[in-house]
């Protein structure tokens, strides 16, 4: 547009000058080397205008040709990009359908023309994993890691594949390298939870539970279950490494609130029993029952191996005097009677316990007590009830 206006201005000025100096065209002489060119001023002006018009036209034609070439090149590039995206989308669908071979072929065929080749190589890696080809899997992960901003996506994909293959030690190393840089990443936290559980790394597991709960990656029920497993697992580790004395020392250092939790008390007592520290276990259990008469704790009494069973039996008798509806106490006392071959007394307490709640183990104990009294028919009927209860469970 500017060039057209410029030409019109020059042409207008030429016409104006022509009318002003009509009949006075003047004389122009151009001498170059041995050559001379003669012309009037009017001719020179016309020549300049025509030359400028020709130059502008030539520039327009060159730009038009270049623009056409660029458009053609871009058309081919866009066509390749669209085809690559289409193949990648089809490959992802095939991956979800479990057609690993076709998925791999589609996402790698035009990966070089995709605007995000990282996605193509990660999908190809997952397809290779599905086919069980670890060499190809690692090759595609290596190709993916060469792409821009690929570190997190590649490492998380690698960790997920390692977890699927039960390569928990390798997954632990992979995730440990990410943990400090991405402490709030939800996928990372879920993978760490799985790895810590499998490797029984209880202390690190306890540390990430608040983060899992905060991001609602676990519900209240699962959180409680994981906490119980981790806390009991930690007690087991301490017992194995430091023995009963180290375990008791560790227990004494725990916060009072934690030591009131029934499941943890139960774990602590079982660890003491496994370490042959039965007297300490009974002392802890007796004190715990004063504060929290939980059925789970009563069931631990028969598991403690004491040289004298009189103290626990007296404890259970006093408990039943105050609360005759305590099924766990009836069951525990019956087990002590079974050890002492007091079949009738054991039968009475087991029947009382079973009248309050059903229990497969109590049915088995009752059947044994009846057999010892030559009540085979009754023992058979009790065994049938036990079997029926097992099938219901």
22, pLDDT greater than 70: no
User: Half-sphere exposure of 343 toward its Cβ, with a 13 Å CA cutoff?
Assistant: 10
Is 172:199 a contact under the CB 8 Å cutoff? yes
> pLDDT tier at 75 (50, 70, 90 boundaries)?
very low
88, pLDDT greater than 70: yes
Q: What is the pLDDT of residue 11?
A: 60
Q: What is the pLDDT of residue 18?
A: 55
When pLDDT is averaged across residues 371-388 and rounded to a whole number, the result is 87
Question: Two tokens at 145?
Answer: 């890691």
Model confidence over 121-165: pLDDT tens digits? Answer: 999 999 999 999 999 999 999 999 999 889 999 999 999 999 999
Question: Two tokens at 305?
Answer: 């191996």
CB contact burial 271-283 (16+ within 10 A = b; e otherwise): bbbebebbebbbe
Model confidence over 179-222: pLDDT tens digits? Answer: 999 999 999 999 999 999 999 999 999 999 999 999 999 999 99
Domain at 312-393: CATH code: 1.25.40.10
Model confidence over 226-270: pLDDT tens digits? Answer: 999 999 999 999 999 999 999 999 999 988 888 888 999 999 999
Q: What are phi and psi of 36, to 5 degrees?
A: -130, 145
Model confidence over 258-300: pLDDT tens digits? Answer: 888 899 999 999 999 999 999 999 999 999 998 888 999 999 9
Q: What is the pLDDT of residue 68?
A: 59
81, pLDDT greater than 80: no
Percent of the chain past pLDDT 70, that is, above it, reads 86
**DSSP assigned state of 102:** H
Is 275:247 a contact under the CB 8 Å cutoff? yes
Per-domain residue ranges for the chain?
312-393
15, pLDDT greater than 70: no
69, pLDDT greater than 60: no
Its pTM stands at: 0.72
Q: What is the pLDDT of residue 76?
A: 44
For residue 32, the SS3 value is: strand
When pLDDT is averaged across residues 166-173 and rounded to a whole number, the result is 96
CA distance 276 to 264: 19
Q: What is the pLDDT of residue 65?
A: 67
When pLDDT is averaged across residues 103-112 and rounded to a whole number, the result is 84
Where is pLDDT greater, at 29 or 135?
A: 135
Q: Rounded to the nearest 10 degrees, how much is the dihedral formed by the CA atoms of 148, 151, 153, 159?
A: 150
Q: What is the pLDDT of residue 6?
A: 60
Residues 6+ apart with CB under 8 A from 385: 363
Report which listed range, 36-40, 113-117, 308-312, is most confident. Answer: 308-312
User: The dihedral of CA 330, 333, 335, 338: what is its sign?
Assistant: negative
For residue 36, the SS3 value is: strand
Angle between helices 278-291 and 262-274 (to 10 degrees): 170
44, pLDDT greater than 90: no
> pLDDT tier at 63 (50, 70, 90 boundaries)?
confident
Q: Which of 58-67, 166-175, 281-290 has the lowest mean pLDDT?
A: 58-67
């Amino acid at each position: 547009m500017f060039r057209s206006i410029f030409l019109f201005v020059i042409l207008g000025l030429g016409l104006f000058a022509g009318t002003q100096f009509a009949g006075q065209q003047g004389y122009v002489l151009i001498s170059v080397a041995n050559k001379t060119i003669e012309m009037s001023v009017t001719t020179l002006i016309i020549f300049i205008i025509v030359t400028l018009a020709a130059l502008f036209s030539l520039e327009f034609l060159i730009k038009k040709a270049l623009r056409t070439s660029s458009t053609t090149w871009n058309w081919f590039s866009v066509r390749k990009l669209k085809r690559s995206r289409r193949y990648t989308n089809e490959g992802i669908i095939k991956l979800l359908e479990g057609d690993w071979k076709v998925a791999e072929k589609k996402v790698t065929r035009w990966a070089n023309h995709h605007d995000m080749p990282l996605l193509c190589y990660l999908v190809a890696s997952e397809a290779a994993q599905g086919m069980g080809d670890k060499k190809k899997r690692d090759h595609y992960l290596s190709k993916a890691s060469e792409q821009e901003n690929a570190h997190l996506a590649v490492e998380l994909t690698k960790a997920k594949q390692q977890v699927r293959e039960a390569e928990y030690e390798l997954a632990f190393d992979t995730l440990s390298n990410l943990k400090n840089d991405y402490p709030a990443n939800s996928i990372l936290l879920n993978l760490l939870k799985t790895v810590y559980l499998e490797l029984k790394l209880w202390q690190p597991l306890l540390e990430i539970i608040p983060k899992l709960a905060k991001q609602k990656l676990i519900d209240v029920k699962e959180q409680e279950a994981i906490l119980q497993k981790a806390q009991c697992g930690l007690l087991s580790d301490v017992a194995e490494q430091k023995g009963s004395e180290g375990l008791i020392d560790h227990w004494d250092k725990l916060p009072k609130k934690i030591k009131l939790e029934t499941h943890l008390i139960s774990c602590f007592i079982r660890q003491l029993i496994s370490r042959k520290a039965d007297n300490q276990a009974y002392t802890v259990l007796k004190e715990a029952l004063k504060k929290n008469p939980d059925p789970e704790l009563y069931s631990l009494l028969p598991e403690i191996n004491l040289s004298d069973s009189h103290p626990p039996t007296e404890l259970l008798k006093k408990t039943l005097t105050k609360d005759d509806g305590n099924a766990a106490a009836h069951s525990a006392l019956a087990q002590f009677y079974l050890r002492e071959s007091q079949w009738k007394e054991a039968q009475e307490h087991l029947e009382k316990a079973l009248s309050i709640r059903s229990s497969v183990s109590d049915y088995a104990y009752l059947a044994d007590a009846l057999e010892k009294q030559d009540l085979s028919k009754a023992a058979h009927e009790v065994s049938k009830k036990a079997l029926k209860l097992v099938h219901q469970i």
